[in-house]
Structures are given as C-alpha cells and as structure tokens.
C-alpha cells in the first residue's frame, strides 16, 4: 500500500517535472500543482521534488514555508483567519479567539480532527475600524463578539 502510494506520487511528480522542466524556476509551479491536488505537500513529495530537480530538500521546505498558500499538512475545509493586528487586538480579539478555540476544541495553528476547521492568525484584513475581524475562506466577518464568532462557526458546522 505504502509502496503503491510512493510510486503514484513519484510518477505524478515525474510528470510535473516533464511538464514544467528541471530548472529551479519550476519549483514553485510544481509545488502549486501538488498543493492543488493533495491540499498539502507531504514529506515524501518534498523529497521527490528535491531529488528530481536535484536540489536540497531544505530548499523545497523553505519555499513551502515562505508562501502561505503552500502547506506541509492538510488544512480544514474552512480556514478561519482571525486578525491579530493592533486595532483588532484593542477591540477584543483575545476574547473572540478564546471563544473560537473553546468552541472547536483546538488552538490557533491547529486543524480539527474531522478536517473541517483550521485556525490561523492573520495580519490586518482591512477592517480596522470594525474589528475584531476574521476571514473564513474568502468571506470577511467584522465587529465580532465571542457570541457572534461562535454563532458563525455553528452555522458552518
Ligand atoms: S487591525 Fe484587524 S483588520 Fe486591521
């Protein structure tokens, strides 16, 4: 089973290398393709990309770490990004963040076991005068209270 998965992943990456080429500049489009298909870039895929492009695995990992749209672990269907910048902080972000963590049973940086929610902090999302604010996938929510945040999560559950 594991061997089959490895072979499938290797074949898939070989195909991407054929399509994008072996140059260093191919690294990002290859990683984006893997991310799109698997919703993250597993360890084995990172090693295979490094091997096939003949670069060090640390280089692959550092590119993944640099771009927020590339992940080494699968994320939830709903990515909750709560603004942690100063205006939202002063308007009650801490209470909202505690309520969200309590409701989902995870802390920021984690994903629920059912892969439904991932919690992340974001920097200013452009709603500074209406904070605390958060974005869930593409949608912005503002003037949050702990109760309002929990209600929003419950509507998504
Ligand atoms: S500081 Fe939170 S939206 Fe700008």
Pocket test of ligand 1: the residue of 94, 125, 130, 141 to mutate, having most ligand atoms within 8 Å of its CB, is 125
Q: How confident is the model at residue 4 (pLDDT cuts 50, 70, 90)?
A: low
User: Any bridge partners for residue 117, and if so which?
Assistant: 78
Index of the ligand 1 atom closest to the CA of residue 83: 2
Query: pLDDT above 70 covers what percent of the chain?
Result: 96
In a domain, 119, yes or no: yes
* Residues 52 and 122 reside in one and the same domain: no
Mind spelling out the 3-state secondary structure of the chain?
CHHHHHHHHHHHHHHHHHHHCCCHHHHHHHHHHHHHHHCCCCHHHHHHHHHHHCCCHHHHHHHHHHCCCCCCCCCCCEEEEEECCHHHHHCCHHHHHHHHHHHHCCCCCCECCCCCEEEEEECCCCCHHHCCCEEECCEEECCCCHHHHHHHHHHHC
Is-contact 26 53, C-beta < 8 A? yes
Domain count for the chain: 2
Indicate if ligand 1 lies below 6 Å from the C-beta of 153.
no
* Residues 40 and 96 reside in one and the same domain: no
**pLDDT tens-digit readout, 22-42:** 999 999 999 999 999 998 999
Index of the ligand 1 atom closest to the CA of residue 125: 3
Index of the ligand 1 atom closest to the CA of residue 85: 1
Pocket test of ligand 1: the residue of 84, 85, 120, 130 to mutate, having most ligand atoms within 8 Å of its CB, is 85
pLDDT at res. 68: 77
Phi, psi of 4 (to 5 degrees): -60, -45
**Burial class of residue 87, CB neighbours in 10 A (0-12, 13-18, 19+):** middle
In a domain, 107, yes or no: yes
In a domain, 73, yes or no: no
Q: Which structural domain range is residue 29 located in?
A: 2-66
* Residues 31 and 87 reside in one and the same domain: no
Q: Residues 46-82, buried b or exposed e (16+ Cβ, 10 A)?
A: bbbbbebbeeeeeebbebbeeeeebbeeeebebbbbb
* Residues 83 and 151 reside in one and the same domain: yes
Pairwise CA distance, residues 148 & 136, whole Å:
14
In a domain, 95, yes or no: yes
* Residues 91 and 138 reside in one and the same domain: yes
Indicate if ligand 1 lies below 6 Å from the C-beta of 133.
yes
Indicate if ligand 1 lies below 6 Å from the C-beta of 96.
no
* Residues 8 and 43 reside in one and the same domain: yes
**pLDDT tens-digit readout, 73-125:** 888 999 999 999 999 999 999 999 999 999 999 999 999 999 999 999 999 99
* Residues 85 and 133 reside in one and the same domain: yes
* Residues 88 and 59 reside in one and the same domain: no
* Residues 152 and 93 reside in one and the same domain: yes
């Amino acid at each position: 089973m594991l061997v089959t998965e490895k072979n499938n992943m290797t074949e898939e990456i070989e195909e991407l290398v054929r399509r994008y080429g072996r140059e260093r500049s191919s690294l990002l489009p290859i990683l984006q393709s893997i991310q799109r298909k698997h919703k993250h870039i597993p360890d084995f895929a990172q090693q295979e990309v490094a091997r096939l492009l003949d670069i060090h695995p640390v280089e692959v990992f550092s590119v993944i770490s640099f771009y927020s749209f590339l992940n080494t672990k699968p994320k939830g269907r709903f990515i909750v990004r709560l603004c942690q910048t100063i205006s939202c902080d002063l308007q009650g972000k801490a209470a909202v963040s505690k309520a969200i963590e309590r409701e989902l049973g995870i802390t920021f940086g984690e994903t629920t076991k059912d892969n439904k929610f991932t919690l992340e902090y974001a920097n200013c999302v452009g709603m500074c005068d209406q904070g605390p604010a958060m974005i869930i996938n593409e949608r912005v929510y503002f003037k949050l209270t702990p109760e309002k945040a929990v209600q929003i999560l419950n509507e998504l559950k």
